[in-house]
Amino acid sequence: MSDPYLVTNQPPPLTGYDVFGSDLALVEGVRRHEAGWAVEALTSLGERAGTGEAQEWGRLANEYPPQLRTLDRYGNRLDEVEFHPSWHRLMEVAVGNGLHASPWVDPRPGAHVARAAGFSVWSQVEGGHGCPISMTHAAVPALRADKALYDEWVPRLTSYVYDFGLRPPASKAGCLAGMGMTEKQGGSDVRTNTTVARPTSDGTYLLTGHKWFTSAPMCDMFLVLAQAPEGLTCFVVPRVLPDGSRNPFRIQRLKDKLGNRSNASSEPEFVDTVGWRLGDEGRGVRTIIEMVMMTRLDCVIGSTSLMRACVSQATHHARHRQAFGGYLVDKPLMRNVLADLALESEAATALMVRLAAAVDCIDDPNEQAFKRIALAVGKYWISKRGPSVAAEALECLGGNGYVEDFPMARLYREAPLNSIWEGSGNVNALDVLRALGREPSAWEAFRTEVAAARGADRRLDAACDALDAPVADGSDVEVRARRLVEQMALVLQGSLLVRFAPPAVADAFCASRLGGDWGAAFGTLPASADTQAIVERATPKVG
């Protein structure tokens, strides 16, 4: 008699593999954009990300979300957040590998590409802890607005030591940064902020107001927007003051979020909270814009990472699961679905790496003009694709995908986040319109980039030419903004794939996304697509 409890035909967990090395599109992008020197370190990080231990850290950090401790037993204000030990292990690896600071510590060619690859690899373990890592990385360029503050804080923020806890910053081995921008009455419209900053005789300011969405409140300092006498201004607000006393930072509650549950997102109230002005009064948005640009890039990286994790789970499952007389991966319709998802992931990866390469080229005006428009295009499109990819990949696992025992449920809940943070889809689409209207060099740089593939694929050529008229037409442009930005993203991705991806990938992308031979759902690639080659390229290599 057979054992009724014997488990068969269940795919093994996706562990024991190199997350970096299995992502061929990422490996190729790293080498292509002058970051080949980082391959050894990225391989080590990828191998660690693929361990069962690291994946368990990610599970536990979400299973046991952070807890707010407002008061101590005697009623004294604490305003501290407690995290599960697994959160701290994730943070230690991220900080220890410089994912929060490496381009500022070692700004060699390809530094931002290498950091983007590492951030993408380690984020596949767990997405939530990437928030303070991203904000710390992005705070450094904003701090350049004041030499004294830069000299004080940047050595702390670029330390590779994770030193958790609220203590005087000067006494810590390393610090982390956050930001407090949005308020409940305005959200992305930060110019409507009502938090007030009153100057004092010693050169500091006292801030009073309420912030609506301030993540990672246990960071050591925050860049905060508040209304000074001359208008909206940026301030450096530490949690602990130089004399060791707590700066008033009253955490009203932690957000009960759909996903991203390992990361504490809070509503702090400032009551005569001490801040140091960063940049000129009334220039707060301009001061903090470099931070926003960097965190937008990290939204692109985060969504790309999530899509790659989804594709890895789906292809691994299909490779091991049998149904209807064979393995799922050998079924033509399932292979069409998997290949379609893999195309989306590879296109996102190519664009993510290209954007990071533009950030590296700080002294190249053409690259900076390209970044100005392409970053908003990429942020809009790639973060939009994440939820669709997650939903379809989840379906590939069937019922297993829909239960919390498997990682797909967490990936699905995490997927919408990056489309909301650092400017929603509409905010980024409007940012593209502003670049088109005010900075002709941005459009020229974009056009030059996509034209680099001219003549290689007629469908790409036609799609590229078709952009000129809607860009030049100023009528109803805001109504058409999403459609325009979507087409710009697809043309840019198509150009990158035609130049750098294998023919099977480039041809299927151009046929479906640019040539119109595609349905309204994944799994509708044309019969001519080499789905087997695409899926084999995307499937993680275990063992």
User: How does pLDDT run across 22-37, given as a tens digit for each residue?
Assistant: 999 999 999 999 999 9
Which residue do the tokens 């109504």 mark? 479
pLDDT at 323: 93
Q: How confident is the model at residue 292 (pLDDT cuts 50, 70, 90)?
A: confident
Q: In the prediction, which pLDDT does 186 show?
A: 79
CATH number at residue 357: 1.20.140.10
The helix (run of H) or strand (run of E) holding residue 197 is strand 196-199
Judgement on whether residues 102 and 185 belong to the same structural domain of the protein: yes
Check: CB of residue 111 under 8 Å from CB of residue 34: no
Examine the pLDDT at 476 and tell me if it is beyond 70: yes
Note the pLDDT tens digit of each residue in 119-145: 999 999 999 999 999 999 999 999 999
352 with 482, same domain: the answer is yes
Q: Is residue 102 situated within a structural domain?
A: yes
State the pLDDT at residue 289: 86
Say whether 208 sits in a helix, a strand or coil: strand
Q: Decide if pLDDT at 52 tops 90.
A: yes
Beta bridge partners, 177, equal: 221
- pLDDT band (50, 70, 90) for residue 206: very high
Counting Cα atoms < 13 Å in the Cβ hemisphere of 540 gives 28
Residues 139, 53 share a domain? yes
- Nearest Cα to 450, choosing from 437, 440, 438, 463? 463
Check which CATH number belongs to the domain holding 68 and give it.
2.40.110.20
pLDDT of residue 1: 59
**258: how many CB neighbours lie within 10 A of its CB?**
12
Kind of pairing between the strands at 265-278 and 250-254: antiparallel
Distances (CA, A) of 268 to 136, 154, 188, 204, 277: 19, 24, 17, 20, 19
Regarding whether 297 and 269 lie in a shared domain, the answer is no
Model confidence pTM above 0.95? yes
Place of tokens 């020197």: 37
Number of domains in the chain: 2
* % the chain with pLDDT above 70: 100
DSSP state of 127: S
pLDDT of residue 473: 86
Task: Quote the DSSP letter at residue 334.
Answer: H
Same-domain pairing of 421 and 516: yes
Percent of the chain with pLDDT over 90: 94
CA 346/CA 504 separation, integer angstroms: 12
Spatial contact of 232 and 250, defined as CB atoms under 8 Å apart: no
Range of the domain at 199: 24-282
Give the pLDDT confidence score for residue 526 in this predicted structure: 98
Residue type, 265: S
Question: Within 13 Å, how many C-alpha atoms sit on residue 455's CB side?
Answer: 1
**325 lies in the same domain as 271:** no
Q: Which tens digit of pLDDT belongs to each residue from 487-526?
A: 999 999 999 999 999 999 999 999 999 999 999 999 999 9
Question: 190 and 258 in one domain?
Answer: yes
Bridge partners (DSSP) listed for residue 322: 327
Report residue 104's pLDDT band, with 50, 70 and 90 as the boundaries: very high
Q: Looking at 232, 261, 282, which one is the last position of a domain?
A: 282
Count, residues in the chain:
543
* pLDDT higher than 70, residue 198: yes
Average pLDDT, the chain: 96
**Is the pLDDT reported for residue 291 higher than 90?**
no
Mean pLDDT on 391-415 = 97
* pLDDT for position 474: 84
Together in a domain, 277 and 291: no
Tokens of 505: 């990938």
